[in-house]
Structure 1
Amino acid sequence: MSFVMRTARLDDLQTLYELAKITGGGFTNLPADRHALEQKLKRTEIALDRDTDEVEDDLIVLVLENSATGQVRGTCQIFSKVGQSSPFYSYRLGVMTQHSRELSRTFRAQMLSLVTDLEGSTEVGGLFLHPRERAEGLGLLLARSRYLYIRNHRSRFGDRVIAELRGVIDEAGGSPFWDGLAGRFFGMSFQEADEFNAIHGNQFIADLMPKTPIYTAMLNDSARSVIGMPHPNGRAAMRMLETEGFSDPGYVDIFDGGPTMVGQINSLQTIIHAQDVALAAVHDSGGEKQLVAAGQLANFRCTYGFVRRNDGEAISIDKESAARLGLEIGQRFTMVARA
């Protein structure tokens, strides 16, 4: 396998734009808009260039590169602290319980409340893998490389991490959740609203959306049935997040109703089990397949490698993986078992 994760550069713009055009919609963090993507790459450049290690409003775009061909075949993103330049809105699912003495009945109504509870969290998102590359664990490499990046730059991130999963999108590219709720107030289609949000931010939600809780019983059946449900293509991603240590506490996306998963960075399985070791030697082939990562900031790299523990617990990896990471004998790298 010749794939490696690296930080994105400005010259990745065209490739990212081509990837964005085949997402099928609903990917707010990967809009098919060249200017918006260019701004993301510029934010990444600024974040990688700064020499302080405090938690700031950074964006890190990572890309999956085929090192044999130089082609970029996937991407993902890390937002170090959401809700700093504009509010980070979610709906929170809750229940209102009311009792009538006269009727001797108790009523429990499910409600959606507009909240900014998740502001300040680190967000992992924007994950997209080219359809022709969805094999050999590349999706897992994309996802878990983000956690290794966070671990190896720990002072630049807080304690809580979230992941928004794309909600249910119909065959026409519309959102039943949007059509049943927000679309009634905004007078625009889901695609129009999603594109506007990706480029301009979601302040218009605060300007036009009702601030009072919404009873889900007032929504149509199509909208109710998809609340908190991931897109069918995102079910595997949801299982991966759960395995990693994320949970679903009842936050849903304001656009498509998809679930927002929440975890604690120091409790993520990849971060708990990762080890920093020195490279003692390289070998031609064989060994245990693991995720291996090395480098800081713009030099960060992550790939699959074949690891051996030799006499005296000395660590060696296959020479191809060492070359992809730019590792030399004696240098330190991070490794974690392929779950």
Structure 2
Amino acid sequence: MRLRPIKAADLDGLQGLAQQAGVGFTSLPDNREFLAGKIEAAAHAFEERTPVNDRLYFFVLEDDATGELAGCCAIEGQVGHEVPFYNYRLGRLTHASVQLDLHRAIDTLFLSSDHTGDAEVCSLFLRPEYRGEASRALRCGALLSKARWLFIAQFRDRFPEKVLAEMRGVFDDGNRSPFWESLGKHFFPMAFDEADRLTGLGQKSFIGELMPKFPIYTTFMSDEARACIGQVHRHTRPALEMLKKEGMRWEGYIDIFDGGPTVEAYIDDIRAVRRSQLCQVEVSPNVAVTSESRWLAATTRMADFAAAWVGRGPASDGTLALSEDEARRLDVTTGDTLRLLDTQETS
């Protein structure tokens, strides 16, 4: 498997991913014209033809054996500049009556744009066909998730101080969001699917226009909806665990529509950013080929960035031996530089 920047020829494959992602995957709507625009925006970002605060770096996971797209992921350079970035901040109000000796603390939701200017890791999706076998799903999912950190580490000066990730919220077996049913539908005269579609297409101004500006008391919501606050969809749990291991944490912000958590961290505190290292390539036909999912390597060029698993770590002199297949997958030769990460390192 190889992660690389998306290109124009991937439009059909990307739309196929969008169709499989389904409802609730806001950043990947099934709209061909919009997806084509996303690909074009990504091309401009990788060529550094757009301002740093308006860049979308979009990647695809390519199956080396078949050439098909197995998944995708992306990085937004900064959120909230062109289109408002809204979420709810979970807070608490305390009410007390001295005369009656009564005290009550009530959870509240505040409409917020606190993350404006932060980077976002987003759009991570792995096709169901690649989730069946546990070891394969782990390799693919980890490659999609962790390669983004190597990209950020290599081009650190293109990114701000903080990074966030919005996680998909809870849906029941009927693909219904209890959080939306109890809250969102009372303010938006449309179905969840339509609100989600508009948001995915970047049409977010209606959120600020229609949502109440005052705190919302969660006690008015159903028990089922309150239980969804800060919780993730069952398919999103592995992605959340990977982000938590990198140092991202939930600080009380949730999605407007489904109540899923927004996790965040300072970029320089992300484990993969801190622990990745540069090494020089040595290609050899005598290198043993392994399928170990420990060492992740990425190129240091932006326009044709690539990332893949390699079978070993660096030698004591800082060189990294690659098999001919590994070098071909990463499109590197002897003397080139790679950024390397030991994914099993815990400190």
**TM-score grouping bracket, smaller chain normalisation:** over 0.9
Task: Say whether the 8 Å CA contact 1:174–1:189 is kept in structure 2.
Answer: no
State the SS of the aligned residue for 2:174: coil
State the SS of the aligned residue for 1:299: coil
User: Could you tell which deviates more after superposition, 310-319 or 133-142?
Assistant: 310-319
State yes or no: 1:113 paired with 2:100.
Answer: no
Structure 2 spans left out of the alignment, 5+ residues = none
Give the deviation of 1:51 after TM superposition.
Answer: 5.7
Alignment partner of 2:307 out of 302, 323, 332: 302
Alpha carbons of 1:320 and 1:83: their partners in 2 closer, same or farther (altered >3 Å)? same
TM-score of the superposed pair, with normalisation by structure 1: 0.95
Task: Say whether the 8 Å CA contact 2:280–2:318 is kept in structure 1.
Answer: no
Where in structure 2 are the equivalents of 1:116-131 lying within 5 Å? 116-131=113-128
* Aligned counterparts of 1:281 and 1:36: Cα–Cα separation in 2: 41
* Aligned counterparts of 1:308 and 1:82: Cα–Cα separation in 2: 35
TM-score of the superposed pair, with normalisation by structure 2: 0.93
Corresponding residue for residue 177 of structure 2: 175
* Aligned counterparts of 2:315 and 2:43: Cα–Cα separation in 1: 39
Give the deviation of 1:201 after TM superposition.
Answer: 2.1
State yes or no: 1:236 paired with 2:218.
Answer: no
State the SS of the aligned residue for 2:103: strand
Corresponding residue for residue 187 of structure 1: 189
The one-letter code matched in structure 2 to 1:171 is: D
Alignment partner of 1:336 out of 333, 336, 341: 341
User: Could you tell which deviates more after superposition, 171-180 or 160-169?
Assistant: 171-180
Alignment partner of 1:250 out of 249, 252, 255: 252
Give the deviation of 1:286 after TM superposition.
Answer: 4.7
The one-letter code matched in structure 2 to 1:46 is: H
Where in structure 2 are the equivalents of 1:75-224 lying within 5 Å? 75-134=72-131, 135-136=135-136, 137-224=139-226
Q: Percent identity between the aligned chains?
A: 37
* Aligned counterparts of 1:120 and 1:271: Cα–Cα separation in 2: 19
User: Could you tell which deviates more after superposition, 292-301 or 282-291?
Assistant: 282-291
The one-letter code matched in structure 2 to 1:274 is: S
Give the deviation of 1:50 after TM superposition.
Answer: 2.3
State the SS of the aligned residue for 2:273: helix
Q: Alpha-carbon deviations, 1:162-186, whole Å to 9, x = none? A: 0000001122322111111111111
Task: Say whether the 8 Å CA contact 1:274–1:334 is kept in structure 2.
Answer: yes
Q: Alpha-carbon deviations, 1:214-270, whole Å to 9, x = none? A: 000011122111011100111121111110100000000001100000011111111
The one-letter code matched in structure 1 to 2:28 is: L
Task: Say whether the 8 Å CA contact 2:89–2:110 is kept in structure 1.
Answer: yes
Task: Say whether the 8 Å CA contact 1:173–1:191 is kept in structure 2.
Answer: no
* Aligned counterparts of 2:213 and 2:175: Cα–Cα separation in 1: 27
Structure 1 spans left out of the alignment, 5+ residues = none
Alpha carbons of 1:141 and 1:223: their partners in 2 closer, same or farther (altered >3 Å)? same
Task: Say whether the 8 Å CA contact 2:5–2:306 is kept in structure 1.
Answer: yes
* Aligned counterparts of 2:74 and 2:159: Cα–Cα separation in 1: 14
Give the deviation of 1:199 after TM superposition.
Answer: 1.7
* Aligned counterparts of 2:34 and 2:309: Cα–Cα separation in 1: 31
* Aligned counterparts of 2:20 and 2:263: Cα–Cα separation in 1: 25
Q: Alpha-carbon deviations, 1:295-314, whole Å to 9, x = none? A: 42221000000125447454
State yes or no: 1:23 paired with 2:21.
Answer: yes
State yes or no: 1:268 paired with 2:270.
Answer: yes
* Aligned counterparts of 2:49 and 2:22: Cα–Cα separation in 1: 38
Number of equivalent positions = 336
RMSD of aligned residue pairs (Cα, Å): 1.6
Task: Say whether the 8 Å CA contact 1:77–1:125 is kept in structure 2.
Answer: yes
Q: Alpha-carbon deviations, 1:140-174, whole Å to 9, x = none? A: 00001111111111111111000000001122322
User: Could you tell which deviates more after superposition, 157-166 or 37-46?
Assistant: 37-46
Give the deviation of 1:76 after TM superposition.
Answer: 0.4
Give the deviation of 1:69 after TM superposition.
Answer: 1.9
* Aligned counterparts of 1:148 and 1:235: Cα–Cα separation in 2: 22
